[in-house]
Amino acid sequence: MSKIVLITGASRGIGASLAIEFAKNGYNLSLCCRNSKEDLYSLQKHIQDNYHVDVITSIGNVGDFSFVESMIEKTIQRFGHVNVLINNAGISHIGLLSDMSITEWNNIINTNLSSVFFTSKCIIPEMIKKHSGKIINISSVWGNVGASCEVAYSACKGGINSFTKALGKELAPSNIQVNAIACGCIDTSMNSCFSEEERQELADEIPAGRFGKPEEVAHLALQLATGNEYLTGQIVTLDGGWI
pLDDT at 137: 98
User: Looking at the 3D structure of the chain, how many domains does it have?
Assistant: 1
Query: Which of 41, 51, 153, 230 is an active site residue?
Result: 153
227 in a structural domain: yes
Q: What is the mean pLDDT of residues 209-238?
A: 97
With 80 as the cut, is the pLDDT of residue 64 above it? yes
Three-state SS at 45: helix
136 in a structural domain: yes
pLDDT at 79: 97
What average pLDDT does the structure give for the chain?
Answer: 96
CA distances from residue 59 to 39, 68, 224 in whole angstroms, order as listed: 11, 10, 27
CA distances from residue 96 to 91, 199, 217, 234 in whole angstroms, order as listed: 16, 21, 29, 31
Contact 72, 6 (CB under 8 A): yes
Pairing of β 133-140 and β 176-183: parallel
243 in a structural domain: no
With 80 as the cut, is the pLDDT of residue 190 above it? no
201 in a structural domain: yes
Q: What is the domain extent for residue 140? A: 3-238
In sequence order, the β-bridge partners of residue 3 are 27
Strands (E), 129-208: 133-140, 176-183
Q: What is the mean pLDDT of residues 232-236?
A: 98
- Is residue 51 part of the annotated active site? The answer reads no
pLDDT at 3: 97
pTM for this predicted structure: 0.96
DSSP per position, 84-117: EEEE-------S-GGG--HHHHHHHHIIIIIHHH
